[in-house]
Amino acid sequence: MTRAIELHDVSKSYTRGTRVVDGLSLDIAPGEFLVLLGPSGCGKSTVLRMIAGLEDIDEGELLLDGEYANHWQPSERGMAMVFQNFALYPNMTGRDNIGFPLRIEDPGADPAPRVGATARMLGIEDLLDRFPSQLSGGERQRVAMGRAIARHPSAFLMDEPLSNLDAKLRNHLRAEISRLTRELGVTTVYVTHDQAEAMSLGDRVAVLRGGVLQQVGTPRQVYALPRNVFTAAFIGTPRINLLRGLVRAPLDGAMTISLGKQALRLPEPLCLDHQLLRVQQGREVIVGLRSEAVRIARHSSARAGEAAITGLVEHVEFQGHEILVHFDTGSRPAVVPDLEAPRPAARPARRRRREGPTVLDRLRERAGSRRAGPVVVLEHPGDTGPEPAPPEGRLPGDLVVRTTPDLRLHHGMQVPLLVDLAHLFVFDQQGDRICPSPDRLPDLDE
């Protein structure tokens, strides 16, 4: 039997009142494969441990098949967990490790048939009589998965099970996990910080930052329609191009988004999403362009809905089947300083005249925590100070374009570029998406 899992406004705090999970609500359907994705320290594993019963829930409700389960013991939940560090008993063989939970559940039953069936499913029959010290990392993880599968649980909880393995083995086991969970039809909650794993495995992906749910949807939805800058930048390889822009919407001329030395001219008649940008007149925004939204082509070959700019080649990455070209277009990248950080730096506490926070203080704290702090840092458009130094380790250029390997490009070459404005993202200064409109989601099946 598989299980439905519901989390309603679940929160968890540790020392000094720091919320590691803040008001999380998720509905996981029976048999669904849901991936919790986010940077290290964002609360993914804590959510998983609360579902398993290994951590108490401070606020909110956990429902299992519609029943209130906050205080159920782990053994009452019928779930199996696969840990990052394998967690095998070193003094037991693979056979005993897989059969141990079966002997605990039913001491009088013979675990051998279920152990054998699980081993055949995973292809580890020849590993059953070896100890963990005699197994490779991939073999240990298969045994750990076998221990979970043999129990016939109502849900699998996987906490970064592939992070300690090399890239080739990770890809192989990723395909195995996908096949097994679909064959078994068991609800699976999978934690990872690797967006490639999330996109390839999950029926849906839930993106977390600072303990706050940023977006949940199918892999295609969170890639094609990111709700904010954090989701847009965290999902996708190479990372989305984020440029600082200024909306110009004169009454007697074409609307443009200035990128510094160049501008994107929006095609007329304006579509609904671009019409809504008029309210941003004179405001600085963040322009998001995926690497596939820009192509290298002569301006004379522009199609309807494409804007022409030029770029200076700064760096070329050869990837075999494609190349990634880094251009300098005279634009200023939007800085996302804490993109990989679990949460923004804590603000110093203000001294209070009376003990305990006021109602207004609690509301302010709640509103700030639900956003998980600022995502982007933009100076005022009128700033005249020196340009901030680029983040350490950032590759040169401000625009990365994916193209075919047959193009011969070299450093310093001036190249014509065409931007597909149908794939243009615009975010406000807080990082929330304003184009395409958050209220009007395009049909991704078209």
How would DSSP label each residue in 205-223?
EEEEETTEEEEEE-HHHHH
For the chain, count helices (H), then strands (E): 10, 21
Apex 132 CA angle, 126 and 133, nearest 5: 110
Give the mean pLDDT of 49-73: 95
Rounded to the nearest angstrom, the gap between the alpha carbon of residue 51 and the centroid of all alpha carbons in its chain is 20
CA distance 138 to 165: 7
Residue 368 has pLDDT above 50, yes or no: no
Residue 387 included in any domain:
no
DSSP conformation class of 357: -
pLDDT band at 342 (very low <50, low <70, confident <90, very high): very low
Return the pLDDT at 399.
94
Residue 362 included in any domain:
no
Question: Which helix (H) or strand (E) element contains residue 242?
Answer: strand 241-248
Residue 389 included in any domain:
no
Domain final residue, candidates 226, 254, 275: 226
Return the pLDDT at 370.
52
Task: Report the percentage of the chain scoring pLDDT > 70.
Answer: 85
User: Which among 37, 41, 75, 69 is positioned nearest to 56, based on CA atoms?
Assistant: 69
Same domain? 217 vs 270:
no
Same domain? 105 vs 168:
yes
Return the pLDDT at 413.
93
Same domain? 300 vs 163:
no
Residue 79 has pLDDT above 50, yes or no: yes
Q: Residue 212: beta bridge partners?
A: 209
Structural domain of 178: 5-226
Same domain? 267 vs 252:
yes
Same domain? 27 vs 157:
yes
Domain final residue, candidates 200, 226, 252: 226
Contacts of 98 (CB under 8 A, 6+ apart): 111, 115, 118, 119, 128, 143, 146, 147, 150
Residue that wins the pLDDT comparison between 242 and 172: 242
Instruction: Indicate the range of 120-124, 139-143, 237-241, 391-395 predicted with least confidence.
Output: 391-395
Same domain? 177 vs 275:
no
Residue 440 included in any domain:
no
Residue 318 included in any domain:
yes
* Averaged pLDDT of the chain: 84
User: Which among 29, 31, 37 is positioned nearest to 215, based on CA atoms?
Assistant: 37
Give the mean pLDDT of 70-96: 90
Same domain? 25 vs 108:
yes
Give the mean pLDDT of 229-258: 91
pLDDT band at 352 (very low <50, low <70, confident <90, very high): very low
For the chain, the straight-line distance linking the first and the last C-alpha, in angstroms and rounded, comes to: 36
* CATH number of the domain that residue 41 is part of: 3.40.50.300
pLDDT digits (tens, 9 = 90+) for 235-244: 998 999 999 9
Same domain? 116 vs 254:
no
Domain final residue, candidates 170, 199, 226: 226
Residue type, 289: L
Residue 24 included in any domain:
yes
Residue 382 has pLDDT above 60, yes or no: no
Same domain? 220 vs 319:
no
Return the pLDDT at 375.
59
User: Which among 121, 240, 130 is positioned nearest to 186, based on CA atoms?
Assistant: 121
CA distance 412 to 41: 41
Residue 36 has pLDDT above 70, yes or no: yes
Burial of residue 241, with CB atoms counted within 10 A of its CB: 0-12 exposed, 13-18 middle, 19 or more buried = buried
Residue 429 has pLDDT above 90, yes or no: no
Count of structural domains, the chain? 2
Return the pLDDT at 61.
96
Residue 393 has pLDDT above 50, yes or no: no
Same domain? 237 vs 222:
no
